Amino acid sequence: MSIFRLKDFCVSIRGKRLVSDISLDIAAGEIVALAGESGSGKSLTAMTPFGLSAGAGSGSAMLGDDELVGLSEAELARLRASQVGFVFQQPLTAMTPHRSVRQHLEEAAMQAGGDRPDKLAMIAMLDQVGLADAGGKLRQFAHRLSGGERQRVLIACAIAHGPKLLIADEPTSALDASLRREIMELLTALCRTRGMAMLLVSHDLASIERDADRLLLLKDGGVEEQGGATQIAVRPASDCGKALMAATPRMDEKLVALTTPGEVLLEVRDIHVRFKKPGWRSGYLDAVKEASLTLAKGETLAIVGGSGSGKSTLGRAIAGLGPVTSGDVFWRGEKLPARKKRTLLHRRLIQPVFQDPAASLNPRWRVADTIAEPAQVLSGQRPSPERIAELLAEVDLPAEFANRRAIQLSGGQAQRVAISRALSADPDMLLLDEATSALDPLVADGVSRLFAKIQAERGLSLLFITHDLALARRVAHRIAVMEDGDIVEMADRETLFTDPQAEATKRLIAASG
Amino acid sequence: MRAPLIIVAAIALAALLGPLLLPWDHASIDWDSVRAGLFADGHLLGTDDLGRDRLARLLVGTRITMSVALAAALVALVIGVVWGAVAGWVGGRTDEVMMRIVDGLYALPFMFVVILLMVVFGRSIFLVFLGIGAVEWLTMARVVRGEVMALKQRPFVLAAEAAGSSGSRTLIRHILPNVAGVAVAYLMLTVPQVVMVESFLSFLGLGVQEPLTSLGILVNEGAEEMDVNPAALLLPGGVLVTVIICLTLAGERLRDRLTGTGRAAESAQ
């Protein structure tokens, strides 16, 4: 039986049509996925029928026997409360900070006019979403829960009133790689066992292939390709599908040969970083524990780990951009001084590229000034406009970009400018701190290809910090796995995946597969 | 956004140029028409009990009040930005000490201190705005410190450090320009506060010296004769209220725009 059906559904905002002619049909217990790059209209398609976006829908959207297009806000609210559950991307902000888990659950269960659930019923709800110590969690507030726990609570809330349809808008993109698998498995199991229909919005093709029954690939607000999820994911027919598939790193893809590394440049010995716990709490937190590694010329070393594993702290300690408690960093056998004592000569060697492209650029500066800065500081002479155009060309941006400001750039363009700034210093090594993880798959793939190109041309060494194991497998010669501040395993990419030693590595591989 | 600014600009322009067009200045006495009513003998707003033209006095009073306010707000801006930027940028113990000093100054009964200063050093317009400016910078310092601490965490500041930019260069080239917008917005909010404080001091008789005048003095004088001549109170009072409301509105709009809260509110709708 069909639970949710769109027929020639269109969405426009202020008269401008952004999504056109989407048709889909979800039966009970079935999972249909909407995929596509950002701006393709996938979230709009999922949210507009229920009045949860700025857009206005037209065509037909049937929830059971109710036509949603043309309903008033009050009628939509009634239908949402009784028949539809929602799971959103940001578990951090989707909970009300001053209300406990219990209050969230009560509200969710009572929204359709049901009775106030008793404690046992609520514990059962939390058990169902796999939350450990459900009884104790009831009293807690959002800030005491981890990201994964919050997302579980929100899923419990979404299904508390027994909806027929679950709308999941990128439910795992804000989570750690190791948690994504667990949350997706939970959602899938809930749908199958309860006979709930699910509309899944996602750009994670690997997960869609595994979990969804059918897939609609959107581009520029229209359907590019639709059909069985496995079939499209394995053998896409459209160009858009092919590009998206090629851009998504997979654990089972064939390894592409990388450049051959040269002599060892960087040697890190027993770096330890210790923070005092914040506030009035006593004690210390060891963010990085006695980490040692080496990096050769032209080599890429990936540091992989979950959030809080200390990988960024280690990267910053090496680059002299963060605190170091003890340990040494050697460059060609020569010891690099502490953060404040690094001279311009030392600074030139290692340049960083950060995760958030928007925050990486000074919003008041023009691109030309941003790119000129390192060269200007290091050599005392402002590079010529021709030189800036060269640097822009190296990251595949036209010379006209020199006059733009940060706000006039897309995420991928801003990240390219940040890379260009790093190259302007003429470095020997780049520190890439999750440099592609804030970008959508196609753009991220373009940026990681760019890294490979620059590496080949300039013989750069790359320290590639990421949470994405499949990406690390694709780009890095060697991979170090971090957990709780320890480098638990370091091996070249073939060995790590065929013969993992540490428990943490095995868990990560299982979660990414 | 525009309307309040235009009104304030018009008032400021009138206060600057208006007295030049009048045949009387604020201190000259017209012996033939003491306590004249509205429009009597060419005095548009009449004269006070010493035969001085009320319009001239109103314009000069507005001029004095607004320039004292601007000067004091600028003093507050300079001290506040420097203090807040250094505290936020250096951080650690320096920050603790500097901000505790700010807290301590906040706790002083400021009106009392200004009055004591007046008693000890005598009344002078210079002392008035120094006294006011020295207190109004406290809020500015807190705002700027918070902004600087937030900017310090941004990746572009780390990237500048990686490029070898020294601490002071980063502060001047990267941090301060990004603080400027917020600082200007709070400057706009400081001006009406200072207008109020200055008027209050003048009302108490501690502000500027006769025959020079300010809106506070005019309101005080007007209050004494409001039963016979309400215009004497309502006109300077009206100008004062208009200036304060318009500057506050413009300042708040500017702050929302520059700190992004306004934009966030817009897109949330």
B16-40: pLDDT as tens digits: 888 777 777 777 777 777 677 776 6
- pLDDT the model gives residue B144: 93
B interface test, pick of A377, A409, A437 with most B CB neighbours within 10 Å: A377
SS3 A384: coil
- 8 Å CB contact between A111 and A161: yes
d(CA A277, CA A259) in angstroms, rounded, equals 42
- pLDDT the model gives residue A452: 92
**What integer is the mean pLDDT of B109-133?**
75
Query: Which chain A residue shows the shortest CA-CA distance from B159?
Result: A352
Work out the angle at residue A473's Cα, subtended by the Cα atoms of residues A468 and A479, and round it to the nearest 5 degrees: 85
- 8 Å CB contact between B188 and B153: no
Residue A391 has pLDDT above 80, yes or no: yes
Closest among A196, A174, A166, A172 to A185, alpha carbons compared: A172
d(CA B117, CA B119) in angstroms, rounded, equals 5
**Chains A & B: contacts with CB separation below 8 Å:** 61
Token readout for B91 is 């951080």
The fraction of chain B above a pLDDT of 90, given in percent, is 14
Query: With an 8 Å Cβ cutoff, are A377 and B164 in contact?
Result: yes
SS3 B25: coil
- 8 Å CB contact between A445 and A452: no
> Is the CB of B122 inside 8 Å of chain A's CB atoms?
no
The fraction of chain A above a pLDDT of 90, given in percent, is 35
Residue A297 has pLDDT above 90, yes or no: yes
The more confidently predicted of residues B28 and B57 is B57
Residue B122 has pLDDT above 80, yes or no: no
Token readout for B208 is 């500027």
The more confidently predicted of residues B209 and A342 is A342
Closest among A182, A458, A476 to A304, alpha carbons compared: A476
Name the range with the highest mean pLDDT among A2-11, A225-234, A405-414, B15-24. Answer: A2-11
SS3 A217: strand
Pairing, β A478-483 against β A326-331 = unpaired
Q: Which residues of A touch B163 (CB under 8 A)?
A: 347, 351, 373-374, 377-378, 421, 424-425
Residue B145 has pLDDT above 80, yes or no: yes
| Average pLDDT of chain A, as a whole number | 88
- 8 Å CB contact between A33 and A216: yes
- 8 Å CB contact between A354 and A371: no
Among A352, A363, A370, the residue with its CB nearest the CB of B162 is A352
**What integer is the mean pLDDT of A94-104?**
88
Alpha helices in A430-489 (DSSP H): 441-458, 469-475
Rounded to a whole number of angstroms, the distance from the CA of B27 to the nearest CA of chain A is 50
Confidence of residue A370 (pLDDT cuts 50, 70, 90): very high
3-state DSSP of A251-310: CCCCCCCCCCCCCEEEEEEEEEEEEECCCCCCCEEEEEEEEEEEEECCCEEEEECCCCCC
Q: Which residues of A touch B162 (CB under 8 A)?
A: 319-321, 347, 350-352, 374, 425
Beta-carbon contacts of A312 under 8 Å, excluding residues fewer than 6 positions away, are: A433, A434, A465
d(CA A133, CA A152) in angstroms, rounded, equals 13
d(CA A111, CA A339) in angstroms, rounded, equals 55
Residue A397 has pLDDT above 80, yes or no: yes
For A36-65, the pLDDT digits (tens) are 877 788 888 999 999 888 888 889 998 888
Chain B, 153-182: which have a CB under 8 Å from a chain A CB?
A: 154-156, 158-165, 169, 174, 177-178
Q: Reduced to 3 DSSP states, what percent helix, strand and coil does chain A have, rounded to the nearest 5? A: 40, 25, 35
Query: Which chain B residue shows the shortest CA-CA distance from A345?
Result: B164
- pLDDT the model gives residue B261: 43
Pairing, β A197-201 against β A31-35 = parallel
Q: Which residues of B16-36 are buried (b: 16+ CB within 10 A; e: fewer)?
A: eebbeebebebeeebeebeeb
Chain B, 188-247: which have a CB under 8 Å from a chain A CB?
A: none
**What integer is the mean pLDDT of A110-134?**
85
Residue A76 has pLDDT above 50, yes or no: yes
d(CA A113, CA A489) in angstroms, rounded, equals 53
Query: With an 8 Å Cβ cutoff, are A359 and B154 in contact?
Result: yes
**What integer is the mean pLDDT of A89-117?**
84
**What integer is the mean pLDDT of A385-412?**
90
The more confidently predicted of residues A277 and A324 is A324
d(CA B27, CA B21) in angstroms, rounded, equals 15
Q: CA Rg, chain B, in Å?
A: 22
d(CA A374, CA A504) in angstroms, rounded, equals 39
Work out the angle at residue A189's Cα, subtended by the Cα atoms of residues A199 and A129, and round it to the nearest 5 degrees: 100
**What integer is the mean pLDDT of A343-347?**
89
Using CA of residue A466, residue A469, residue A474, residue A480, what is the dihedral sign? positive
- pLDDT the model gives residue A513: 66
Beta-carbon contacts of A178 under 8 Å, excluding residues fewer than 6 positions away, are: A306, A507, A508, A511
Query: Which chain A residue shows the shortest CA-CA distance from B156?
Result: A360
Residue A433 has pLDDT above 80, yes or no: yes
Query: Which chain B residue shows the shortest CA-CA distance from A350?
Result: B162
- pLDDT the model gives residue B1: 59
**What integer is the mean pLDDT of B223-236?**
83
How long, in residues, is chain B?
Answer: 269
Residue A375 has pLDDT above 70, yes or no: yes
- 8 Å CB contact between A10 and A21: yes
DSSP conformation class of A406? G
Q: Which residues of B touch A463 (CB under 8 A)?
A: none
Confidence of residue B257 (pLDDT cuts 50, 70, 90): confident
For A204-262, the pLDDT digits (tens) are 887 888 889 999 988 888 888 888 888 887 788 888 888 888 888 888 888 888 888 88
Using CA atoms, how far residue A424 sits from A4, A304, A447, B115, in Å, is 54, 27, 17, 59
Closest among A431, A439, A510, A433 to A467, alpha carbons compared: A433
**What integer is the mean pLDDT of A151-172?**
89
How long, in residues, is chain A?
Answer: 513
d(CA B195, CA B129) in angstroms, rounded, equals 10
A interface test, pick of B153, B156, B269 with most A CB neighbours within 10 Å: B156
Give Cα A104 distance to the centre of its chain.
26
Strand partners, A478: A301, A492
Closest among B75, B110, B139 to B206, alpha carbons compared: B110
- 8 Å CB contact between B214 and B243: no
- pLDDT the model gives residue B259: 59
Name the range with the highest mean pLDDT among A198-207, A226-235, A473-482, B108-117. Answer: A473-482
